């Protein structure tokens, strides 16, 4: 069994494979590491290119697009490795990027996953949206990072160069324990894409495991390559999956109140889209809510099945304020402005 399997999920991403795979191979060659590309039914010439230019890279081929969540589930179930390194195809890795991540998991069996510092590929010196300097959420399920709150991205001047426990590690680049990933069922396939890594981390934290950000490793991420931010499908997936994640993982004593408040906040958010004449995004939120309501019976069954061995609690890495209010009303647009240190909670 190999120590680390680096697994890149591809969908019509020949240009990213051509640009970034050479660097992955250059900085990942080791007797303990193998590189895999899992293809989600691409209709471009990704696989022809990969076969011709990189015949030694192992391929896992699917006949259709399973999305990010189930695509990785299907791929990782076919790989025998101690650790899975989930890596987006639009990431440029750096020298010695793997060892600092492996060292974290090797150090403590209760650490289920670790991510590096995520910097923006095309914005010199800035963090990248998906992960930045470590992922957190507030008590209403709004995700943010050290280095990124909503659309405000900070420049990196070393302010987040400390290793720290986080609430979630980014699916753009995360090293996880293969045994835990498989035993837990992996990502929730119903999510398709977006928020599935946060749901996974929350489920594992409810079981007593930890997640860590380690800036000794850093990578550069393009972001939005497969599904641009302007696509209403992205809006739909984010809102639906966020509500689903809350319902699955919140402690019972806060579940109903939190969901109710979150529904009100989403209503306000939908009207912001109308004001901006983004009508398709407005209807995407409406659709997301109706689909969330429809799956509540299934989510109740999930909670019942997990309850017998879970100890749901309020985790230190959940910000107990309202990040929406902090950002839009109080204009606290940076992590430092929150005056919150999750390490001291």
* Domains of the chain in sequence order: 2-221 (3.90.550.10), 232-344 (no CATH)
Residue 345 has pLDDT above 70, yes or no: no
Length of the chain as a residue count: 345
More confidently predicted of 231 and 143? 143
pLDDT tens sequence across 268-289: 998 888 998 899 999 999 999 9
Band of residue 171 on the pLDDT scale cut at 50, 70, 90: very high
Residue 326 DSSP class: I
Query: Whole-prediction pTM value?
Result: 0.95
**pLDDT of the residue at 6:** 98
**pLDDT of the residue at 24:** 98
- Cβ–Cβ contacts within 10 Å for residue 192, how many? 20
Nearest to 92 by CA among 115, 118, 125: 118
How much is the mean pLDDT over the chain? 94
**pLDDT of the residue at 252:** 87
Tokens 């998906």, residue? 130
> Are the CB atoms for 284 and 290 separated by under 8 Å?
no
**pLDDT of the residue at 309:** 56
Provide the token pair at 228.
């641009």
- Give the mean pLDDT of 216-231: 82
**pLDDT of the residue at 227:** 63
Provide the token pair at 97.
């990027």
The β-bridge partners of 145 are: 135, 148
> Are the CB atoms for 12 and 42 separated by under 8 Å?
yes
Instruction: Give the list of residues 6+ apart from residue 242 with CB closer than 8 angstroms, or none.
Output: 141, 142, 143, 195, 262
Tokens 């999305």, residue? 67
The β-bridge partners of 111 are: 210
**pLDDT of the residue at 226:** 61
The four Cα atoms 216, 220, 224, 226 give a dihedral, to 10 degrees, of -100
**pLDDT of the residue at 343:** 81
Residue 218 has pLDDT above 80, yes or no: yes
């Amino acid at each position: 069994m190999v120590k680390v399997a680096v697994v890149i999920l591809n969908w019509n991403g020949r240009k990213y494979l051509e640009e970034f795979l050479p660097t992955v191979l250059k900085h990942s060659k080791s007797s303990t590491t193998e590189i895999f590309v899992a293809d989600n039914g691409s209709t471009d010439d990704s696989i022809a290119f990969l076969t011709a230019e990189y015949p030694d890279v192992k391929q896992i081929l699917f006949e259709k697009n399973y999305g990010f969540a189930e695509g990785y589930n299907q791929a990782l179930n076919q790989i025998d490795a101690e650790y899975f390194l989930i890596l987006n195809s639009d990431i440029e890795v750096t020298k010695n990027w793997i060892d600092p991540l492996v060292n974290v998991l090797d150090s403590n069996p209760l650490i289920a996953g670790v991510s590096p510092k995520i910097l923006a590929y095309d914005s010199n010196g800035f963090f990248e949206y998906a992960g930045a300097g470590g992922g957190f959420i507030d008590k209403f399920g709004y995700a943010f990072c050290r280095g990124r709150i909503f659309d405000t991205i900070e420049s990196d001047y070393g302010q987040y160069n400390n290793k720290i426990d986080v609430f979630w590690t980014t699916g753009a680049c995360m090293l996880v324990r293969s045994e835990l990933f498989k035993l837990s069922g992996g990502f929730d396939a119903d999510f398709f894409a977006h928020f599935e890594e946060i749901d996974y981390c929350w489920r594992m934290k409810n079981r007593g495991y930890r997640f860590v950000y380690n800036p000794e490793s850093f990578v550069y991420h393009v972001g939005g390559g497969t599904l641009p931010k302007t696509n209403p499908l992205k809006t739909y997936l984010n809102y639906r999956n966020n509500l689903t994640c809350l319902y699955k993982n919140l402690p019972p004593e806060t579940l109903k109140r939190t969901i109710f408040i979150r529904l009100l906040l989403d209503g306000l958010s939908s009207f912001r889209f109308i004001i901006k004449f983004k009508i398709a995004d407005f209807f995407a939120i409406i659709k997301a809510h109706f689909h969330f309501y429809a799956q509540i019976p299934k989510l109740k069954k999930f909670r019942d099945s997990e309850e017998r061995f879970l100890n749901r609690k309020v985790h230190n890495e959940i910000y107990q304020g309202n990040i929406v209010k902090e950002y839009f009303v109080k204009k606290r647009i940076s992590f430092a402005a929150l005056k919150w240190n999750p390490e001291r909670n």
